[in-house]
Homo-oligomer: A and B are copies of this chain.
């Protein structure tokens, strides 16, 4: 497979595919111009004469030249890469967001650098150090545990997009989902179905969104004139197992309920299983509402009524916003409002 004689037809493709090292300097030499000219053409940094431009373009194609981002990074300070701090790369919710980020970024010639903070501020800080040392041009942080101040400081260094909180600072753009409204919608849906004894499986209160969802639940209750009962609120941890255990505790407590609103889908799945084990049918005996609209919600049994959160859109928007920031523009995009997806896990109280 050495590029012997047959390197005729498409030397470009051949070279590119084979990974021959073609440098900008070689391109310059090949068409008798200076390296700077080639660089300028590559970056559109200045106006060059059409003839040279064309000659260079051809040389680039023929030689199969690919600029070296490493060198570019060292010299120009830009690496065309952006850091993405997620919490767990295999999260069913954030995974979809990552995908959105990837799509948007790669389309713009940027590469994402994914790192996971595992819901741990210390680890997140380490992640950020890694990203910084890799000289990313900007960062997207998906709902981290970092303090607002840390973020503001980070934003002084480079453009930052943060999700899951409201925050204003120079060089920083925050994208927040209306968790309160989502939870209100979910609870209202159950109320409108005639349910009054609505249990709530909450998320870990250290998550800001978990707190908001609890607020939304309470607000809906209040608006409907239903008294808030702490005994109906079960703490969970956003994982299936905790939803399952929450329901077990709930049933064991003998506190009557006809519906459950789970602060996320994963816990709702666990809750459904717990109900199933106890011989309670969804929705016949108990109505169940989740939150997030994970990919699996549509095919769970029964299909889960839930609050749709546009994770994919979140990712895209975060990426686009960062790109705008990087281009010196001011992002203005906002997340779509929460929407109730009524499926088969809820029904009117008999």
- Residues of A whose CB lies within 8 Å of any CB of B are 1, 16-19, 66-71, 73-74, 79, 81, 88-92, 95-96, 98-99, 102, 106, 111-116, 125, 129-130, 132-135, 153, 156-157, 240-241, 244, 269-270, 272-273, 276, 295-296, 298-303
Alpha-carbon distance A134/B18, docked complex (angstroms): 15
27 A-B contacts, Cβ less than 8 Å apart?
A: A16-B129, A66-B133, A69-B133, A69-B134, A69-B135, A70-B73, A70-B74, A74-B74, A89-B95, A89-B99, A90-B95, A90-B96, A90-B98, A91-B95, A102-B115, A102-B116, A106-B115, A111-B115, A113-B113, A240-B298, A241-B299, A244-B299, A270-B299, A273-B299, A276-B301, A276-B302, A300-B300
Q: Is the CB of A79 within 8 A of B90?
A: no
Q: Is the CB of B269 within 8 A of A300?
A: yes
20 more contacts with CB within 8 A, not counting A102-B115, A106-B115, A301-B301, are A16-B129, A19-B132, A70-B74, A70-B79, A81-B134, A89-B98, A89-B99, A90-B92, A90-B96, A90-B295, A92-B295, A111-B115, A240-B295, A240-B296, A240-B299, A269-B300, A272-B299, A273-B301, A276-B302, A300-B300
Q: Is the CB of B299 within 8 A of A135?
A: no
Q: Is the CB of B269 within 8 A of A129?
A: no
Q: For A301, what are the chain B residues with a Cβ–Cβ distance below 8 Å?
A: 272-273, 276, 300-301
Interface class of chain A by DSSP: helix
In the complex, the chain B residue whose C-beta lies closest to that of A19 is B157
Q: Smallest distance from the beta carbon of A14 to chain B beta carbons, Å?
A: 11
Alpha-carbon distance A295/B70, docked complex (angstroms): 38
Alpha-carbon distance A157/B68, docked complex (angstroms): 16
Q: Smallest distance from the beta carbon of A234 to chain B beta carbons, Å?
A: 17
Q: Smallest distance from the beta carbon of A131 to chain B beta carbons, Å?
A: 9
Q: Smallest distance from the beta carbon of A124 to chain B beta carbons, Å?
A: 13
Q: For A241, what are the chain B residues with a Cβ–Cβ distance below 8 Å?
A: 299
Q: Is the CB of B132 within 8 A of A70?
A: no
Q: A299-B269, A301-B272 are in contact. Are A135 and B90 (CB under 8 A)?
A: no
Q: For A296, what are the chain B residues with a Cβ–Cβ distance below 8 Å?
A: 240, 269, 296
Q: For A71, what are the chain B residues with a Cβ–Cβ distance below 8 Å?
A: 74
Q: Is the CB of A113 within 8 A of B111?
A: yes
Q: For A90, what are the chain B residues with a Cβ–Cβ distance below 8 Å?
A: 92, 95-96, 98-99, 295
Q: For A244, what are the chain B residues with a Cβ–Cβ distance below 8 Å?
A: 299
Q: For A89, what are the chain B residues with a Cβ–Cβ distance below 8 Å?
A: 89, 95, 98-99, 102, 114
Alpha-carbon distance A157/B20, docked complex (angstroms): 10
Q: Is the CB of A111 within 8 A of B130?
A: yes
Q: Is the CB of A116 within 8 A of B99?
A: yes
Alpha-carbon distance A241/B296, docked complex (angstroms): 11
In the complex, the chain B residue whose C-beta lies closest to that of A152 is B1
